[in-house]
Amino acid sequence: MRIGLTYDLRQEYLDMGFGEEETAEFDSEMTIAAIESTLQDLGHETVRIGRLGELMRRILAGERWDLVFNIAEGLYGIGREAQVPALLDAFGIPYTFSDPLVMALTLHKGMTKRVLRDLGLPTPNFCEITAAAEIQSVHLTYPLFAKPIAEGTGKGISAASKILDARQLEEVCLRLLRDFRQAVLVEEFLPGREFTVGIAGTGADARVLGVMEVLFQQGAENDAYGYGNKKDWVDRVRYVQADDTAAKQAAETALAAWRGLGCRDAGRIDMRLDRNGIPNLIEINPLAGLRPEYSDLPLLCSLHGISYRELIAMILESAAKRMSAAGGFA
């Protein structure tokens, strides 16, 4: 196949004056090169496209691809991860990973939790704070956990995200409202073990690739798998394969969420155990990072004996199967 690559190259945004944390979700040249070389090794021709604006220019110029391997995160708006899939849908160009509906929904953690509850799946009690005046009306059970409602890569999450009293709640919410200019998600804190579950496939074909437990090391910010811990994970975090009863229960719940939300091809789901030992859904990641030996999904696969090449092949296999079922477009 002739496969186009859509992505947001972090260095381009840094060169434009955007900050380190603003661009944390974007990809490095190393990630793009790894995907590109793996696709070529699998026998495909690759074409680097880049971010949304360049995709628009090339589509309007008449260029087409058999498939677009899309890892573009987008820059602006609550639907930013849905922008490239929506554009590709409009021009009938097939692509990897989830559709615009799933991308927009899962970026908004509050809306996602409402759907998860409707599916009967466990997720912590929560509320959304859109303005300072709403902080006094929070009636959840402490400790709480607060984070921006639509960010990834742990942005806005630190040890301060765990909240013990009303004074701290006000302080953290006001800071997040100011710094991220979006609503704050406040949840009841989950005190148990933290897992991430890797999934590949779509619908009935979806299967769990493995469960990885996140263990905080000395020097890490405890209770918060946030931006700092993720950025410096080599010194702060240890990842281990998990396959005990709790991990298997987490895998079962994650797979139900993946299928219920309609996620496609591959991704990750983050979970924590509540005070009763039940795995609760924290975040859905249908556009998981793919940097080898750094991003959670490739690390999880490595722990479970799945190579990077095999992971990329699984993603392509799932997308190709969707394309075949839809007569060439999916």
pTM: 0.93
- Cis check: omega of the bond before 279, within 30 degrees of 0: no
CA distance 176 to 165: 17
pLDDT (tens digit, 9 = 90+) per residue, 71-127? 999 999 999 999 999 999 999 999 999 999 999 999 999 999 999 999 999 999 999
Q: What is the mean pLDDT of the chain?
A: 94
Among 11-25, 226-240, 261-275, 312-326, the range with the most confident prediction by mean pLDDT is 261-275
pLDDT (tens digit, 9 = 90+) per residue, 57-74? 999 999 999 999 999 999
pLDDT (tens digit, 9 = 90+) per residue, 183-204? 999 999 999 999 999 999 999 9
Better-scored residue on pLDDT, 234 or 261: 261
CA distance 7 to 237: 27
CA distance 107 to 80: 9
Average pLDDT for 138-167: 91
Contact 83, 57 (CB under 8 A): no
The percent of residues above 70 in pLDDT, for the chain, comes to 99
Average pLDDT for 32-44: 98
Residue 241: exposure state from Cβ atoms within 10 A (0-12, 13-18, ≥19): middle
CA distance 103 to 147: 19
pLDDT (tens digit, 9 = 90+) per residue, 163-182? 999 999 999 999 999 999 99
Which residues, including other chains, have CB under 8 Å from residue 127's CB and lie 6 or more apart?
138, 140, 186
Which strands form 144-148's sheet, in the order they lie side by side?
A: 126-129, 184-188, 144-148, 162-163
Per-residue pLDDT band at 329 (split at 50, 70, 90): low
